[in-house]
Structure 1
Amino acid sequence: MKNTLKPFFALLTIVILSSFTYLGGGHGYHIGDTATDFSLENIDGKTVSLSDYKSSKGYIVVFTCNTCPFSVAYEDRIEALNKKYADQGYPVIAIMPNNPEVKPGDSMEAMQARAKAKGFTFPYLMDKGQKIYPQYGATKTPHVYILKKTKKGNVVKYIGAIDDNHQDANAVNNKYVEDAVDALLSGNEIKEKQTRAIGCSIKV
C-alpha cells in the first residue's frame, strides 16, 4: 500500500509546486493584498505616484519595456486600454522594470524616444534600482496588476496577462484586463482574477 501511494504523493507534490510557480512563487502581491504606493521618474522627468491620481477609482499597472517582443506586440493594446479606461477612473501606469545596464535599449532616453514615437498617453516610469517590481512580484514583461482604490488602500484585484493572444490582437478570445476592469466598473465579481503572464523575463 505504501509503495502504491508513493507515486501519487510525488505527482501531487509536482502539481502543488507547479501551481505555486504559476501564481508567482509566493513572492509579491496576491489577490486581495493592499499595494503600497511608489514614487518613480516618468519620461518627462517628473515623479509620479499613484496618489497623484486623486479622482481615480483604481489603476492598471503594467510592467513593460522597449526591448521585449511581447511588450512591443502589446504596445498598441496598452495604449488602447488607457484611452478606454483612464476617463472612467482606471488609468494605465506603465513601469519599465529592467536594468538598463543589462538592456541599454531600456534606458530612460530609449523610453522617451519610444513613447514619443508611439504617442503614449500614459506615464512610462522607470523602476530605478529595481525596487518596485519585486514588491509586486512581477516576473514578465508585460505583467499586469489591476488595483482598486478603497478606504484601506489600493487592493489588488487582478494579476496576469492582458489577453490570450500576444501574436494577433484580432484573434483574441479572452480580454482579461478589459473584462476585469469592466467588472469593477459595474460592481460585479471578476471571473478570472489571475492568469499566467506571458512575456520576457525581467532583466536584473
Structure 2
Amino acid sequence: MKTIKLISVTLLIVCMSSFNYNVANEGYKIGDTVDDFSLKNINGERVSLADYKDAKGYIVIFTCNTCPYAVAYEDRIIQLNTMYADKGYPVIAIMPNNPQVKPGDSFVAMQERAQKKGFGFPYLIDEGQTVYPKFGATKTPHVFVLQKEKNTPVVKYIGAIDDNYKDANAVKTKYVEDAVNALLKGKAVTNKETKAIGCTIR
C-alpha cells in the first residue's frame, strides 16, 4: 500500500512539474504585449525595442549561424529588412543558442557571419538565454511580427517566414510579408500563426 501511495505521489509531482514547465515556456500568443529587452549587438552596443522611436512595429527573428534552415533563409531575412525597415518594420535578429553547446554560434562567429553576409540589421546574442523563452521561440528561424499599439509592441504574427525553406523561388505564400503588408494597410493579419520550421534552439 505504501508503495502504491509513493508511486502515486511521484507521478503527481512529475505531472505538476510538466504542467508548470509547459506554462512557463508557452511564451507570447497573438495579441499579447511584449516586454522590452536589452541585448548585445555584434558591435558591442546594447539594443532594445525602445531604441526604435519611429518604428511602427518589428520583425523579430530568432536565428543563428549553424542551422541549415536559418542559413537557407539568410538572404530572405536580409530582403525583409530591405523591404520594411524604411516603412517602419525593421528586422531584429536574435541568436538564442548557447555557444557552449553550439560553438559555431559564438559571439565572434556571429560577427564574422554578419560581416560576410552584410547584415543591415542588429544581430543580437541572447546571453543567458532569457529572452527566447519569453517569446516562446523553439526553432531557428522563428518569427514574431510585432505592431506598436499605444507605443507598446503587440504580437500579430508568429511562425515561419514562408512556406518553402528549400527554395525561395518556389515559395507560394510569404507569411511574414503578408502579415506586415496587412498591418501597413491597417488591416488584420489573415494568417496569424504558422508552424516554424527549423532547428531546435539549444
Both proteins in one fold, TM over 0.5: yes
Mapping 1:128-167, distance limit 5 Å: 128-151=127-150, 153-167=152-166
What CA distance in whole angstroms lies between the structure 2 residues aligned with 1:27 and 1:153?
Answer: 21
Q: Is the 8 A contact 2:57 2:88 kept in 1?
A: yes
Runs of 5+ consecutive residues of structure 2 not aligned to the other structure: 1-22
**TM-score with structure 1 length normalisation?**
0.87
Mapping 1:27-176, distance limit 5 Å: 27-151=26-150, 153-176=152-175
Q: Deviations over 1:110-134 (max 9, x none)?
A: 0000000000000000000000000
What CA distance in whole angstroms lies between the structure 1 residues aligned with 2:37 and 2:121?
Answer: 16
Q: Tell me how large the CA RMSD over aligned residues is.
A: 1.3
User: 1:168 and 1:181, CA in 2 relative to 1: closer, same or farther beyond 3 A?
Assistant: same
Give the CA deviation at 1:158. Answer: 0.2
**Aligned: 1:196 with 2:198:** no
Give the CA deviation at 1:25. Answer: 9.6
Name the aligned partner's letter for residue 155 of structure 2: V
What CA distance in whole angstroms lies between the structure 2 residues aligned with 1:36 and 1:158?
Answer: 16
Name the aligned partner's letter for residue 176 of structure 1: Y
Give the CA deviation at 1:166. Answer: 0.2
What CA distance in whole angstroms lies between the structure 1 residues aligned with 2:198 and 2:120?
Answer: 23
Q: Deviations over 1:168-196 (max 9, x none)?
A: 00000000000000000001111100000
Q: Which stretch has the larger CA shift, 26-35 or 97-106?
A: 26-35
Give the CA deviation at 1:26. Answer: 6.9
Runs of 5+ consecutive residues of structure 1 not aligned to the other structure: 1-23
Name the aligned partner's letter for residue 171 of structure 1: A
**Residue 147 of structure 1: SS of its match in structure 2?**
strand
Give the CA deviation at 1:85. Answer: 0.1
Deviating above 2 A after TM superposition, structure 1's stretches of 4 or more consecutive aligned residues are: none
**Residue 85 of structure 2: SS of its match in structure 1?**
helix
**TM-score with structure 2 length normalisation?**
0.87
Q: Deviations over 1:32-68 (max 9, x none)?
A: 0000000000000000000000000000000000000
Q: Is the 8 A contact 2:25 2:134 kept in 1?
A: no
Q: Is the 8 A contact 2:36 2:49 kept in 1?
A: yes
What CA distance in whole angstroms lies between the structure 2 residues aligned with 1:170 and 1:115?
Answer: 24
Give the CA deviation at 1:153. Answer: 1.3
In percent, how many aligned pairs have the same letter?
Answer: 68
Give the CA deviation at 1:150. Answer: 1.1
User: 1:48 and 1:64, CA in 2 relative to 1: closer, same or farther beyond 3 A?
Assistant: same
Name the aligned partner's letter for residue 76 of structure 1: D
Give the CA deviation at 1:152. Answer: 6.0
Give the CA deviation at 1:72. Answer: 0.0
Name the aligned partner's letter for residue 165 of structure 2: H
Q: Is the 8 A contact 2:25 2:133 kept in 1?
A: no
